[in-house]
Amino acid sequence: MVVESGRFDWGNGKFPTMTEPVESYGGIKWWDNFGEYGFLTKLRSEQLRDIGPSLPAQSAFQLLQGVETLPQRIDAHLAGARAVAQWLEEDPRVSFVTWAGLQSHPHHERATKYLPLGPGSVFAFGVRPAGEFGSDEEEAAAARATGEQVIANLRLASHLANIGDARTLVIHPASTTHQQLSAEQLAAGGVRADLIRISVGLEDIEDILWDLDQAITAATGVQR
């Protein structure tokens, strides 16, 4: 990576490759023609053209392997997402599931039409907080704490903000990526206090379901 401020005097007579005509580009002069952008233009026009950039052999191999096996991996992601979403929807401890592959989802018909193989492996769900609450504020606080506890008790899934990994990834936005927002702002953005985002990975489905089950049990004190 090159960081260039553009303030260096390439025209001081010591850098002829910056000030003399460049035959391969019709006789232009990098410094005279482009001024503060001369050095970066030279890098892009000559070095980038002549020597790369090129990936290391191992990196190129891994990239090709990833591209060539993508359809098979996506099939597995979608199958896992369907199994997890259906399992969550049937769990009375779960307050909602937003996977459009479920018939209960408001956009299920569109998902079936436009994404017949399945609407991806990333979706959200919520876990009901246990107990009785005297106000909406108390219930929201309990829901938020429950979402945090689900994340804290997961053993297989990884707590990460990115998506699309081979591993199952989870995050509780209200206490992480969106924690700076007020309760009103979270509600306006559709981020419920108990919302957990999951990116279903390629692990054995029974292992994923076991992990979710034990984490929800630990967070709520209620078994499925």
- CATH code assigned at 111: 3.90.1150.10
- Full strand arrangement of the beta sheet holding 94-97: 94-97, 122-127, 195-199, 169-171, 158-159
What Cα–Cα distance (Å) separates residue 137 from each residue in 79, 83, 102, 180, 190?
Answer: 38, 33, 30, 17, 16
Same domain, 137 and 35: no
Structure confidence at residue 124 (pLDDT): 96
Q: Structure tokens of 181?
A: 């927002």
Structure confidence at residue 181 (pLDDT): 83
Q: Is residue 17 part of a domain?
A: no
Same domain, 163 and 80: yes
Structure confidence at residue 125 (pLDDT): 97
Q: Structure tokens of 20?
A: 């003399």
What total number of domains does the chain contain? 2
Q: Structure tokens of 200?
A: 């279903």
Same domain, 82 and 175: yes
Same domain, 38 and 123: no
**Model pLDDT for residues 33-89, shown as the tens digit of each residue:** 999 999 999 998 888 878 876 778 898 899 899 889 999 999 999 999 999 999 999
Same domain, 69 and 170: yes
Same domain, 98 and 186: yes
Q: Is residue 73 part of a domain?
A: yes
Structure confidence at residue 164 (pLDDT): 84
How many CA atoms within 13 Å lie on the side-chain side of 201?
18
Domain that holds residue 161: 63-220
Alpha helices in the chain (DSSP H): 16-19, 30-34, 38-42, 48-51, 57-68, 70-89, 108-114, 136-153, 183-188, 205-220
Q: Is residue 4 part of a domain?
A: no
Instruction: Please report which helix (H) or strand (E) contains residue 97, including its range.
Output: strand 94-97
Q: Is residue 201 part of a domain?
A: yes
**Cα 212 to Cα 224: distance, rounded to the nearest angstrom:** 11
Same domain, 70 and 41: no
Same domain, 151 and 130: yes
Structure confidence at residue 25 (pLDDT): 86
Same domain, 87 and 34: no
| Site of tokens 């008790």 | 153
Same domain, 80 and 163: yes
Residues of the chain with pLDDT under 50: none
Structure confidence at residue 99 (pLDDT): 97
Q: Is residue 11 part of a domain?
A: no
Structure confidence at residue 24 (pLDDT): 82
Same domain, 181 and 212: yes
What Cα–Cα distance (Å) separates residue 53 from each residue in 1, 30, 46, 56?
Answer: 11, 21, 12, 10
How many CA atoms within 13 Å lie on the side-chain side of 1?
1
Q: Is residue 94 part of a domain?
A: yes
Structure confidence at residue 177 (pLDDT): 87
pTM of structure: 0.72
Structure confidence at residue 60 (pLDDT): 87
CA nearest neighbour of 125 among 78, 172, 164: 172
Q: Is residue 3 part of a domain?
A: no
Q: Is residue 44 part of a domain?
A: yes
| Site of tokens 């005509």 | 21
What Cα–Cα distance (Å) separates residue 9 from each residue in 18, 32, 34?
Answer: 10, 11, 13
Same domain, 128 and 33: no
